[in-house]
Amino acid sequence: MKKIITAISLLFTILLIAGVFFYSRFQSFVSAERVQTDHILTVSSGDTAQSIANQMIVESNFESKVFLRVFFKQNPDITNIKLGSYQVTAGWNFQTLFEHLVSGDEFQHKITFIEGSTFKEWRKQLSQATGIIDDTADLSEVELAKLLNIENSKLEGLMLPETYFYPQGMLVSALYLKSHQKLQAYLNTAWETRDKKLPLKTPYEALILASIIEKETGLESERTTVSSVFINRLNRRMRLQTDPTVIYGMGDDYKGNIRRKHLRQKTDYNTYVIRGLPPTPIAMVGKTSIDAALHPAKTSYLYFVASGDGGHYFSKNLKEHNRAVRKYILKR
């Protein structure tokens, strides 16, 4: 009997030691650093927690396979990883890593489009952006408009410039569509609350005017005043005579200077030559310029000239304007 008790005690001691050893080894396995560097980890269709873990185990052996099986058995919820791309950090163990992959909190790239930029500049900026797939590179502007189901064949002004966040692998066309929908939603809402008796027939005409305001001034404080000048001129059937439309009409021929011959050059956009608004916007516009176009200040101004300090001097008649032009050109 003593021998049996001794054998049982010995077996129990061996099992206890083995259990403690297994637990210690298991804890070391679980807490071990698995992510070696900060990087983007993409979980694709077909990937599992098991397959991802296997890639991160430097030395795969029987012990690690057993420990991994026990780990997932103890934590079944962390095997429900979600597809996407995730920012992972050096030093993470399996527990931290898979909790992050289960959260669905994907890494987001960021891109900022500046108010007053052009669609041509957007295309170039997106072609150089990281983490996005340009499925529009081989499409003409007309083909892209058709893909996005946009009636206008020219896309200038039809997207809202701001900062956008997007996941790894997003399509450029999807970002364009998102931006267009945001622009349309804001423009349509703003149109409903516009000032009465504006010489603007459609939201698109308001967008055209907003794009001219956007290019004429970077000061939010004077946008409604700039808008009032153009509204007053439209009401009087005066030509808008705004340089940004000349520049836009010149396209790639613009080299940084406007000469008298350019002011006389007939293009669809040269408002020194054509009456009324140009046929399309000349830039992407922000919300404040849309608001300014639809809610201009109440003034009698018909002219303005750059004052040299970032703003403009406004005049009610040509004589006053010419005097201001001489003053500020001489000052510059």
Is pLDDT at 199 greater than 70 in this prediction?
Answer: yes
3-state SS, 75-115, equals: CHHHHCCCCEEEEECCCCCHHHHHHHHHHCCCCEEEEECCC
Q: Give residue 328's pLDDT.
A: 82
- Note whether 93 and 138 are same-domain residues: no
> What is the percent of the chain with per-residue pLDDT over 90, rounded to a whole number?
63
Q: Give residue 255's pLDDT.
A: 84
**Position 180 in a domain:** yes
**Position 9 in a domain:** no
Report the distance separating Cα 146 and Cα 57, nearest Å. Answer: 49
What's the pLDDT tens digit per position in 106-149?
999 999 999 999 999 999 999 999 999 999 999 999 999 999 99
- Note whether 155 and 142 are same-domain residues: yes
Q: How confident is the model at residue 292 (pLDDT cuts 50, 70, 90)?
A: very high
- Note whether 121 and 213 are same-domain residues: no
> What is the percent of the chain with per-residue pLDDT over 70, rounded to a whole number?
91
**Position 5 in a domain:** no
Q: Give residue 309's pLDDT.
A: 79
Last residue of a domain, one of 184, 212, 241: 184
The backbone region for 52, taken as left when phi is positive above 0, alpha when psi lies in -120 to 50, beta otherwise, is alpha
Q: Give residue 5's pLDDT.
A: 65
- Note whether 305 and 239 are same-domain residues: yes
**Position 324 in a domain:** yes
| Residues 94 and 34 sit within 8 Å (Cβ to Cβ) | yes
204-209 long-range contacts, CB within 8 A, separation 24+:
204/152, 205/277, 206/290, 206/293, 206/294, 207/157, 207/158, 207/281, 207/285, 207/290, 207/293, 208/157, 208/277, 208/278, 208/279, 208/280, 208/281, 208/282, 209/277, 209/293
**Position 309 in a domain:** yes
**Position 49 in a domain:** yes
What's the pLDDT tens digit per position in 89-112?
999 998 999 899 999 889 999 999
Last residue of a domain, one of 106, 128, 146: 106
- Note whether 132 and 100 are same-domain residues: no
Q: Would you report the helix, strand and coil content of the chain in percent, each value rounded to 5? A: 50, 10, 40
- Note whether 258 and 154 are same-domain residues: no
Lowest-pLDDT range, 133-137, 226-230, 320-324? Answer: 320-324
Domain with 169, as residue range(s), is: 110-184
- Note whether 98 and 150 are same-domain residues: no
Is pLDDT at 326 greater than 90 in this prediction?
Answer: no
Our count of domains for the chain comes to 3
Last residue of a domain, one of 184, 202, 230: 184
The neighbouring-strand residues paired with 84 are 43
Lowest-pLDDT range, 74-88, 196-210, 271-285? Answer: 74-88
- Note whether 224 and 301 are same-domain residues: yes
- Note whether 45 and 119 are same-domain residues: no
What's the pLDDT tens digit per position in 73-85?
888 888 999 998 9
**Position 226 in a domain:** yes
**Position 211 in a domain:** yes
Q: Give residue 53's pLDDT.
A: 87
User: Residue 64 burial (CB < 10 Å; 0-12/13-18/19+)?
Assistant: middle
What's the pLDDT tens digit per position in 11-52?
666 666 655 666 677 777 878 888 889 988 999 888 999 999
- Note whether 37 and 51 are same-domain residues: yes
Q: Give residue 120's pLDDT.
A: 96
- Note whether 117 and 63 are same-domain residues: no
- Note whether 208 and 318 are same-domain residues: yes
Q: How confident is the model at residue 3 (pLDDT cuts 50, 70, 90)?
A: low
